[in-house]
Amino acid sequence: MYKTKIDNLDLKQIADSGQCFRWKNTGENEYTVVAFDRALRIKQDGNEFELDCDEADWNNIWKSYLDMDTDYAGIAKLIADGDDAHLKEAYAYGSGVRILRQDLWEMIVTFMISQNNNIKRITNSVDLLCRRCGHKIDGSAEGGELYTFPKPLEVPDEVFDDRSMGFGYRAPYLKEIYGYGANNPDWLDNLRKMSYDEAMESLLTRKGIGKKVANCICLFGLHHVDAFPIDTHVKQLLDKYYSDGFDFERYKGVAGIIQQYLFYFEL
DNA sequence: CTCCAGGGCAGCG
DNA sequence: CGCTGCCATGGA
């Protein structure tokens, strides 16, 4: 058990913010998080957190995952000092939203599934995929068994042909990316070394990854915080509240986080 | 019944 | 280039 205080972090807000599809609400103010082939139970009481791990795991894994190295207080000040009334309202509503540093492969596959899809169906497909092709994580009996996210070579082709997975028309894209990942084992590490623009270019060469999905992968899987994914909701919100244009220049370097506040508020 | 969901692709002009 | 129709699927 590790205890710590964290500001600008709300488990429920993050769980509902549409960036992670494998968080489970396992109790009052308690979530079970699955990432990097591990599970972690987190309990929140205000800004006090109890994490079901030791201090070494916190320092080595979860501290980074929860984006403790980003200055969220500074972003709060940037918003407060500005004159964007709608953004201030959005921030007041979801100041506990963060951009998690999630597993890159999981983000690639998950956001390919997400295209022209809804969060409930995305969650269901991801869950079915993990259950069928991942392996069980130790000590995950209570609150349902937990599984790792299937890596390349861990998903047989027939899984993509199975209609009950709910992949719909995206199934061939997923089959292709799993094959590409298997044949190009250095791809993920190379992506991690690239700039935002380079990563976008590499991602866009894959079938089923367009501009929006590539931006989500850059933001959630590579932590390129300037990535600003524009989906149907963000497009609507930009039209509604920012018909004169959004001030990307002011929020350069944190635009992706701002986008997430706006997105979460719009939901 | 239609419309929509954290879109992208191919086929046009 | 931009525009359009289509893609599979379940819920509203």
pTM above 0.75, yes or no: yes
Residues A172 and A217 in one domain: yes
Q: Which structure tokens are listed for A139? A: 């000590």
Separation CA A114–CA A195 (nearest Å): 24
Q: Is A245 inside a domain boundary? A: no
Chosen domain end from A54, A76, A94: A94
Q: Is A75 inside a domain boundary? A: yes
List the nucleotides on chain B closer than 7 A to a protein CB.
4-10
Instruction: Render each residue's pLDDT in chain A as its tens digit; 267 residues.
Output: 999 999 999 999 999 999 999 999 999 999 999 999 999 999 999 999 999 999 999 999 999 999 999 999 999 999 999 999 999 999 999 999 999 999 999 999 999 999 999 999 999 999 999 999 999 997 665 667 899 999 999 999 999 999 999 999 999 999 999 999 999 999 999 999 999 999 999 999 999 999 999 999 999 999 999 999 999 999 999 999 999 899 999 999 999 999 999 999 999
Angle between helix axes A255-266 and A85-93 (nearest 10 degrees) is 70
Q: Which structure tokens are listed for A25? A: 């609400």
Q: Is A123 inside a domain boundary? A: yes
Measuring from the CA of residue A115 to each C1' atom, give the nucleotide at the shortest distance: B7
Q: Is A164 inside a domain boundary? A: yes
Separation CA A90–CA A92 (nearest Å): 5
What is the domain extent for residue A115? Answer: 104-221
The structural domain count of chain A equals 2
Residues A124 and A81 in one domain: no
Task: Give the HSE-up count for residue A214: Cα atoms under 13 Å, Cβ half-sphere.
Answer: 17
Separation CA A47–CA A25 (nearest Å): 18
Q: Is A233 inside a domain boundary? A: no
Residues A109 and A74 in one domain: no
Q: What is the CATH number of the domain that holds A38?
A: 3.30.310.260
Find the radius of gyration of the CA atoms of chain A.
18
Residues A210 and A123 in one domain: yes
Span CA (A17) to C1' (B6), Å: 10
Separation CA A131–CA A216 (nearest Å): 24
Q: Is the CB of A207 under 7 A from strand B?
A: yes
Q: Is A254 inside a domain boundary? A: no
Which residue, among A47, A43, A45, A63, has the nearest Cα to A55 in the 3D structure? A63
Q: What is each CA distance from A181 to A109, A131, A188, in whole angstroms?
A: 11, 20, 8
The enclosing H or E element of A113 equals helix A104-113
Residues A117 and A212 in one domain: yes
Q: What is the pLDDT of residue A215?
A: 98
Q: Is the CB of A169 under 7 A from strand B?
A: yes
Q: What is the pLDDT of residue A234?
A: 96
Q: What is the per-residue DSSP string for A15-39?
A: HTTTS-S--EEEETTEEEEEETTEE
Residues A69 and A113 in one domain: no
